[in-house]
Amino acid sequence: MDQRVKFARINKLAEKLGAKILVVSAEELSDAKSSVDFSPCPFRDGIGVCHSAQVVLVDKHFLQEEFWLATLIHELGHVLASKEKPDRSREFDFLGWEIAFARKVRGLNDWIKGNQDYCIDWHDHLEFKELPRNKRKEFFDQRIAVSRRKGMLDANCHPRSIR
């Protein structure tokens, strides 16, 4: 599927839920970093959020990177599925929201590829890529249940905004 179509689907759902994705130049993104409300993504360049404004800022070149979709959905989780600023959020709580969002925009396979190194068990240092395939559904179901319980997903497991 064309990357522009994927981005359009993500953008449409994000707007429906109350967020904005702004594609900006590198200079504009750099200028935004001086804002008190701006939180850059700590593990990827070219993307960050303005939490209170529910805006994700994306460098136009970021959308050409290999795993942009997973990172963009994750950053949207910070502005739509978390009441706390990114440095205080409980990211594991909105992982089920990310899964549901990725499914809704038909990007689950890309989301999975982009999250291979995601640590799902800090105690045993288990990364997502190490999870046996037959355990993946169980893991997804557990994370979705948490997101539903916290109001991030509706009765049909569609993503909602809690902000």
Q: What is the pTM of this model?
A: 0.94
Total residue length of the chain: 163
- 8 A C-beta contact, residue 56 and residue 47: yes
Nearest alpha-carbon partner for 145 in 99, 96, 104: 96
| Residue whose entry in the numeric block shows the structure tokens 């994750």 | 74
- Residue 90 has a pLDDT of 92
Longest dimension (CA), the chain: 46
The gap from C-alpha 50 to its chain's centroid, in whole angstroms, comes to 14
- Residue 1 has a pLDDT of 66
- Residue 120 has a pLDDT of 85
- Residue 93 has a pLDDT of 94
Q: How many helices (H) and strands (E) does the chain have?
A: 6, 6
- Print pLDDT tens along the chain (163 aa): 688 999 999 999 999 999 999 999 999 999 998 888 999 999 899 999 999 999 999 999 999 999 999 999 999 999 999 999 999 999 999 999 999 999 999 999 999 999 999 888 777 778 999 998 888 999 999 999 999 999 999 999 999 999 9
